[in-house]
A and B are shown apart, each in its own frame.
Chain A
């Protein structure tokens, strides 16, 4: 159980275009999802917290107008990288909280999306 599916697994786009990444919880409902970014040989950096039916909460230094997050249902959150540039090339990973807001709730992660902007 607790499977998180992320799509696509990799994407190549041209500079200036927008890319949408989907994150789905397959066998549970996720009120809260999280989006991370990871550069090569670095740790995961939390970008934003996505709550179903409300605006996402972005971490300091993350541009909300560039990284649009939509969490329209309890099983789907999307991250859209708008006007992508080569420096946005990274590994984007989503995660979902099982069991609601509790310190005793593990996060389950998708397998990530490798974005390359040319």
Chain B
């Protein structure tokens, strides 16, 4: 199982890009990197995932380093509604998603 490490909290100005880092040095070659976020008192929301190439969707971009030991989630234009806890997930055998402590992102007006 890939153990992930994230900073506990970050601030970002509204309208600016939010860059959320994650270290996953124990990830194996066929494990994808997943990102989710959780807004208070709701279930986690899927954002994006990738294997080794950079990925982009309507919500965010995911940059994975060449050695796959770390990744960065980029919210290109953060809004107040992006305030949430962001989780970088280590995928276990049997597809069990083990959540780490996550990064609490606060978007500041």
Q: Show the binding face of A for B, using Cβ within 8 Å.
A: 4, 6, 32, 34, 36, 43-46, 49, 57, 91, 93, 95, 97, 101-112, 114
Q: List 28 A-B contacts (CB under 8 A).
A: A6-B43, A32-B95, A36-B99, A43-B100, A44-B38, A44-B44, A45-B99, A46-B96, A46-B98, A49-B94, A49-B96, A91-B41, A95-B43, A103-B30, A103-B32, A103-B91, A104-B32, A104-B51, A105-B95, A106-B49, A107-B95, A109-B45, A109-B46, A111-B42, A111-B43, A112-B41, A112-B42, A114-B41
Most chain B beta carbons < 10 A, residue from A4, A93, A109, A114 = A109
CA distance A57 to B44 in the complex (A): 22
In the bound complex, what is the Cα–Cα distance between A6 and B43 (angstroms)? Answer: 10
Residues of A close to B87: CB separation below 8 A: 43-44
Residues of A within 8 A of B46 (CB): 106-109
A-contacting residues of B (Cβ < 8 Å)? 30-32, 34, 36, 38, 41-46, 49, 51, 87, 91, 94-102
What is the CB-to-nearest-CB distance from A112 to chain B, in angstroms, rounded to a whole number?
A: 5
- Please measure, in the bound complex, the distance between the C-alpha atom of A108 and the C-alpha atom of B97, giving whole angstroms: 11
Residue in A34, A43, A91, A110 whose CB lies within 8 Å of B102: A43
Chain A residues with Cβ under 8 A from B32's Cβ? 103-104
Q: In angstroms, how far is the closest chain A Cβ from the Cβ of B97?
A: 5
**Nearest A residue (CB) for B42:** A111
Q: How far is the CA of A97 from the CA of B97 in the complex (A)?
A: 10
List the B side residues contacting A103 at CB < 8 Å: 30-32, 91, 95
Known: A44-B38, A95-B43. 17 other contacts (CB 8 A): A6-B43, A32-B95, A43-B102, A44-B99, A46-B98, A49-B94, A91-B41, A95-B97, A101-B95, A102-B95, A103-B30, A104-B32, A109-B43, A109-B45, A111-B42, A111-B43, A114-B41
